[in-house]
Homo-oligomer: A and B are copies of this chain.
Amino acid sequence: MRDKLTISNGVEKIVSLSKRRGFIFPSSEIYGGFSSCYDFGPLGVEMKNNIKKAWWDEMTKKHDDVVGLDASILMSPEVWKASGHLTAGFADELVECRKCHKRFRLDEIVNPKSEIRNPKCPDCGGDLTKPKKFNLMMKTFVGPVEDEASLTYLRPETCQGIYTNFKNVMQTMRLKIPFGIAQIGKAFRNEINPKDFIYRTREFEQMEMQWFCEPKKVDKFFDFWLKQRLNWYYNLGLNKKNLRTYEVPKKELAHYAKRAIDIEYKFPFGWQEIEGIHNRGDWDLSNHSKHSGEDLKYDPSAGSGQEYFPHIIETSVGVDRSLFAFLCDAYQEVKGGRTKTTKSVKEIEVLLKLHKDLAPVKAAVLPLVKNKAEIVKKAKQVYKLLKSDFICQYDETGSIGRRYRRQDEIGTLFCITIDFDSLKKDDVTVRNRDTMKQKRIKINGLTSYINNAIM
């Protein structure tokens, strides 16, 4: 019988655990942090790499005709003219205080139901300008002269690098429509109001797949990819109750989109998008064709006269957002002493029940006692044996119960204890995080035991 589980309803516990156990730190923290940027600590980077690998394998290995790409963050500013990002489509409406020159999003300082027609600056009470569009792209200057000619932008989305390489990829890989291009990489948006920990940040990572297909097949593939993407989350253990789809109303669609369905996760702060499935029509290829002068039409067979711009289905995941969702979903507080050594049954134990593919640490090696040289020596041998195959931890500090709890808190799949019997029998106790069952395993079979369990 399992203990009663309760799901935390606040995000503070996730933030605290992330910091305390080396998942996520505020960037430049010794300088007071910086602008909603975050750093992934030793456990965070392993978990993030696991998510990226799971997505990459799903896309490029499981699916036919999806190939990878890694385009640069800096691109020609012409790309952003063609894509529509330099025009009004990619901007927030801001008002500026005439006195202190701070800027605010209009919808944040005006309550839609309020009857106040002339809002004042929330900081200094000054008068505000009329709303103006503020572009979300971050500027930089490339080359030795800082002028208009050298101005460009940090990409606000990774997909444009896929569109500009569409023809290169298709030709060099000898692909035929339909096919997809998958990419993982950083993007930057000068969000006015970054918030909710790693949910909305100015620097973030995307995993995007662009599927190029015949115009008439676009609805079929939209449904196909939506289903595929939902299954990906289910297969990685996300609770179905915490995942839903949201069809974006026509009038709220982005400038490039013909249809959009968000995959939303139920965060402690509400339902929020973690992935978008978009029908982008021929917006991207036709605009890049027009602006660049390069013919990006597809010809199903040479000289057929049936050339067309492939239509695009996009699946776009926020890496940080999905990691955040996986963390929230895995976080459990167990009342009543999951580990025997918890003194009071009222004490709360934290369990991070991450999917085996995502857990950053696969195994922890724990000598039963640390004052017995042979046991410590054997434990270190076991650690050496395992760590070349799996990310492992070695821990000899504190009672065995306390050490189990430390590992439960970071979602370690197996706790391996070396005790007095181990010296005689050359075996160890393996404790399974989820079943809590303990099993004696011979040391020379340990690697394959864990391998089988996590395959």
Q: Interface residues, chain A, CB within 8 Å of chain B? A: 19-22, 25, 27-35, 37-42, 44-46, 48-49, 56, 60-62, 64, 67-76, 78-79, 94, 101-103, 134, 138-145, 152, 154, 161, 164-165, 167-169, 172-174, 181, 183, 186, 188, 190, 192, 202-203, 288, 291-292, 294, 296, 384, 387-391, 395, 397
Q: Verify B202–A74 contact, CB threshold 8 A.
A: yes
Q: Among B60, B72, B183, which residue has its beta carbon within 8 angstroms of that of A203?
A: B72
Number of copies: 2
Cα-based distance from A133 to B94 in the complex (angstroms): 37
Residue of B nearest to A63 (CB): B387
Cα-based distance from A397 to B292 in the complex (angstroms): 32
Q: How far is the CB of A90 from chain B (nearest CB, A)?
A: 15
Q: How far is the CB of A14 from chain B (nearest CB, A)?
A: 15
Q: Verify A27–B168 contact, CB threshold 8 A.
A: no
Q: Verify A391–B142 contact, CB threshold 8 A.
A: no
Q: Verify A94–B144 contact, CB threshold 8 A.
A: yes
Q: Among B69, B103, B140, B384, which residue has its beta carbon within 8 angstroms of that of A140?
A: B140
Cα-based distance from A448 to B251 in the complex (angstroms): 53
Q: Verify A28–B79 contact, CB threshold 8 A.
A: yes
Cα-based distance from A71 to B188 in the complex (angstroms): 15
Contacts A61-B390, A140-B154 given; 20 further ones with Cβ under 8 A?
A22-B67, A27-B74, A29-B168, A30-B167, A30-B288, A30-B294, A31-B292, A33-B76, A37-B74, A39-B69, A39-B70, A40-B69, A41-B168, A41-B173, A42-B67, A61-B391, A134-B144, A138-B142, A143-B190, A174-B397
Q: Verify B141–A73 contact, CB threshold 8 A.
A: no
Q: In the A-B complex, list the 5 residue pairs whose CB atoms are closest, starting with the nearest.
A: A22-B172, A28-B76, A42-B67, A103-B144, A37-B72
Chain B contacts for A142, CB-based, 8 A: 35, 138, 190, 202
Q: Among B94, B140, B164, B203, which residue has its beta carbon within 8 angstroms of that of A139?
A: B140
Residue of B nearest to A134 (CB): B144
Q: Among B190, B296, B388, B395, which residue has its beta carbon within 8 angstroms of that of A61?
A: B388
Q: Verify A169–B75 contact, CB threshold 8 A.
A: no
Knowing A27-B75, A75-B28, A143-B190 are in contact, say whether A165-B70 is a contact too (CB < 8 A).
Answer: no
Cα-based distance from A39 to B19 in the complex (angstroms): 35
Q: Among B40, B74, B183, which residue has its beta carbon within 8 angstroms of that of A70?
A: B40
Chain B contacts for A143, CB-based, 8 A: 35, 190
Chain B contacts for A62, CB-based, 8 A: 388
Q: How far is the CB of A340 from chain B (nearest CB, A)?
A: 23
Q: Among B22, B39, B397, which residue has its beta carbon within 8 angstroms of that of A72?
A: B39
Residue of B nearest to A78 (CB): B31
Cα-based distance from A164 to B26 in the complex (angstroms): 10
Cα-based distance from A25 to B158 in the complex (angstroms): 16
Cα-based distance from A132 to B164 in the complex (angstroms): 38
Residue of B nearest to A101 (CB): B145
Q: Verify A25–B165 contact, CB threshold 8 A.
A: yes
Chain B contacts for A190, CB-based, 8 A: 141-144
A-B pairs with beta carbons under 8 Å apart, 6 shown = A27-B76, A27-B164, A30-B292, A32-B76, A37-B72, A74-B203
Q: Verify B35–A74 contact, CB threshold 8 A.
A: yes
Chain B contacts for A42, CB-based, 8 A: 67-69, 169, 172-173, 181
Cα-based distance from A164 to B41 in the complex (angstroms): 12
Q: Among B38, B44, B48, B70, which residue has its beta carbon within 8 angstroms of that of A44?
A: B70
Chain B contacts for A154, CB-based, 8 A: 140, 154
Q: Verify A138–B138 contact, CB threshold 8 A.
A: no
Cα-based distance from A76 to B35 in the complex (angstroms): 8
Chain B contacts for A296, CB-based, 8 A: 30
